[in-house]
């Protein structure tokens, strides 16, 4: 009986403890990993690409790591970023990024 009460007491002590004031304090989950981070960690890609996806410089799209769509000054956004109601926006930049002359280039929001 004494052994059982000791085990129960030890289990109760592991999740919370009493402070000198008499308030109950609970442990925080410092080492917990979010569901999104678990998803990224399980992707079958190299660690540097997982790091870039977390940072936001690359995106995960249908099984591929891609550069996110860019907003380029003087050009329309990519067609996949346009709403279905917007028509006749065919001025997307189609050249190489190295040949781009625009002064402002940002990630599409």
Q: pLDDT of the chain along its 109 residues, tens only?
A: 555 555 555 555 556 656 677 777 677 767 788 898 899 999 999 999 999 999 988 999 888 999 888 889 999 888 777 777 877 788 888 888 899 899 999 888 6
Domain spans of the chain? 45-107
Residue by residue, DSSP assigns the chain as -HHHHHHHHHHHHHHEEE-TTS-EEE---TT---HHHHHHHTSSS-HHHHHHHHHTSSEEETTEEEPPPEEETTSPPPGGGS-TT---------S-GGG---S-EEE--
- CA 54/CA 51 separation, integer angstroms: 5
């Amino acid at each position: 009986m004494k052994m059982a009460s000791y085990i129960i007491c030890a289990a109760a002590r592991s999740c919370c403890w009493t402070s000198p004031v008499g308030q109950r304090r609970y442990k925080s989950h410092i080492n917990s990993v979010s569901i999104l981070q678990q998803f990224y960690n399980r992707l079958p890609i190299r660690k540097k690409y997982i790091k870039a996806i977390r940072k936001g410089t690359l995106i995960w799209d249908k099984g591929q790591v891609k550069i996110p769509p860019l907003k380029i000054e003087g050009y329309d956004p990519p067609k996949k970023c346009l709403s279905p109601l917007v028509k006749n926006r065919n001025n997307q930049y189609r050249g190489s990024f190295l040949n781009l002359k625009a002064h402002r280039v940002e990630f599409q929001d």
